[in-house]
Amino acid sequence: MKRSGLFRNVTSLAITFSLVYDISFAGLGTLSTARLAFLFLLLTNVNRLGIIIKEYGYFLLFMIGVMFFALVQSFYSHDTTQLSRLFFFIMYCLVSSLLINLEVRDSARLQMFLLSSIAFQSLVLIYVFFNPSLKLVLSNYIATGANYGAENLYRSFGLTSSSGAALSLIQGLGCGLGLYMLHTGQKRYRWAVLIMTVLCIFSTIFVGRTGLVVSIIFLAAYVAVSLSISSIIKYGLVFLFISYFSVGGILERNLQSIEGFSTDYFFTWISEGIQVRDNRTANALMNEQPIPELTLETLLMGTGTVSIDGQNTSGHDSGYIQSYYSLGLVITFLFYLFLVHFLISHFRSRDNRLLYFLIIIMLLLEVKEPFLFKYREGFIIFSLLFSFHRGRYLYLK
């Protein structure tokens, strides 16, 4: 089906936003924007589906094998959580990321669609945060997996079913993408990219601390790679000046205008998330959440369970530990080993620093939560890797 340039761009932008934020509407069951977008991509690229097998090869075969293993587990464990995680990982992280590249057919345009989607969500998150009544409106129409209600004044809601750390990480990845686009010197939309990047960073403050930490890491990497000493000093002074008047003035005044809001609690909560010593999240992972004992079952076969009656059966938040408890240590080790091997072998180039950097970030984040199996973050990373390294090769198919 041929589409005009404008219609194609609008459609591609809508598909990108739908996949990144996967909105599930209350009362519509399992129907979501990401599933509709995936179906659209599948139907409009049906003649290119062979590319999926060619591109992923042994890794796709391995993932199907692991999914079959999880299917067998579900027969005796009566828990299909791990099976669903693997299925949606294949569906969104692997297949959708490739199809969206084939659909858009332009690396720079896809990156702009991703950044625009995240920046638009940033505006929504910021606006809703300062207008708490809108949270109730959104919660009536959009189903979320948040472990807090709309009455929580310290976390924002957006046009998405994601929440908390998962949503903040998406916003943080938007910051990283914007900085990458600034680094590569796309002058035509430089100011627009800069504004959108700032919005992405700013929005993480109102969603969760994970995205803020990731944004800081991306900023540090950008400063180290892209700026000279004089530029660091110049931009550093500008940043301090703006921060002093925005955080210390405008932001604080607007926060105080929210009824029942405690600025002391809010800024303490943020600082606890980014401090290096006595970090509450790190302490909880290491001291308050014991790792399940290694037995013959958890070594070879796994328990087949992740969540029963809403309870985390492993008792741990880490993606590694949840997978180890469910799939067994051997399968879990092979999964992450095959994943890293595929990424390095498939996306390597003359300069692999960005690839290695993203892999390290991805593996570190998995220590905190199973972000790869929340698939939106994985979709973004895989989509960008294809656009960074394989763009022209794919579009010649």
Alpha-carbon distance of 117 to 64, in angstroms, equals 31
247 part of a folded domain: no
Question: In the chain, which residue ranges form alpha helices assigned H by DSSP?
Answer: 5-21, 33-44, 50-77, 81-88, 97-104, 107-129, 133-141, 164-183, 190-204, 209-226, 229-245, 252-256, 263-274, 280-283, 296, 319-327, 329-347, 353-368, 376-389, 391-395
Question: In 227-312, which residue ranges form alpha helices assigned H by DSSP?
Answer: 229-245, 252-256, 263-274, 280-283, 296
What pLDDT, on the 0 to 100 scale, is given for residue 31? Answer: 84
Residue with tokens 């062979």: 50
Residue 349: helix, strand or coil by DSSP? coil
Q: Supply 358's token pair.
A: 């993203």
R_g of the chain computed on alpha carbons: 21
Sign of the CA dihedral with 141 first, then 166, 272, and 197 last: negative
**211, 181, 208, 185: which is closest to 196 by C-alpha?**
181
322 part of a folded domain: yes
Q: Distance of CA 225 to CAs 40, 174, 180, 220, 232, Å?
A: 39, 18, 10, 9, 11
Q: What is the total residue count of the chain? A: 397
What pLDDT, on the 0 to 100 scale, is given for residue 8? Answer: 82
Identity of the residue numbered 72 = V
Contact 171, 222 (CB under 8 A): no
Q: What are phi and psi of 52, to 5 degrees?
A: -60, -50
Q: What is the mean pLDDT of each run of 10 residues along the chain (397 residues)?
A: 70 93 83 92 86 89 95 91 93 93 88 95 92 83 72 82 88 93 78 90 88 90 78 66 59 70 76 66 66 88 86 87 93 95 87 86 90 89 84 49
What pLDDT, on the 0 to 100 scale, is given for residue 396? Answer: 45
Q: Supply 56's token pair.
A: 């992923």
318 part of a folded domain: yes
pTM of the model: 0.88
Q: Which residues pair with 307 in a beta bridge?
A: 312
What pLDDT, on the 0 to 100 scale, is given for residue 289? Answer: 73
What pLDDT, on the 0 to 100 scale, is given for residue 323? Answer: 92
What pLDDT, on the 0 to 100 scale, is given for residue 388? Answer: 82
259 part of a folded domain: no
How crowded is residue 379: how many other Cβ atoms within 10 Å of its Cβ? 27
Q: Which residues pair with 25 in a beta bridge?
A: 142
266 part of a folded domain: no
Identity of the residue numbered 135 = K
What pLDDT, on the 0 to 100 scale, is given for residue 1? Answer: 46
Q: Which domain holds residue 68?
A: 5-226+276-395
185 part of a folded domain: yes
If one counts the domains in the chain, the total is: 1
Contacts 24+ apart (CB under 8 A), 351-354: 353/225, 354/180, 354/388
26 part of a folded domain: yes
What pLDDT, on the 0 to 100 scale, is given for residue 13? Answer: 93
261 part of a folded domain: no
